[in-house]
Homo-oligomer: A and B are copies of this chain.
Amino acid sequence: MIKARVTVTLKNGVLDPQGKAIEGALSALGFEGVDHVRQGKVFDLELEGTDKTKAEAELKAMCEKLLANTVIENYTISIA
Known: A34-B48, A40-B41; 20 extra A-B contacts, CB below 8 A, are: A1-B35, A9-B42, A9-B44, A22-B43, A25-B66, A26-B66, A29-B62, A31-B61, A32-B48, A33-B48, A34-B45, A34-B47, A34-B62, A35-B46, A35-B47, A36-B45, A37-B46, A40-B42, A40-B43, A41-B41
A48 to B38, CA, bound (A): 16
Copies in the complex: 2
Contact B42 A7 (CB under 8 A): yes
Q: Which residues of B contact A49 (CB under 8 A)?
A: 33
- A interface bracket (residues with beta carbon within 8 Å of B): 20 to 34
Contact B43 A42 (CB under 8 A): no
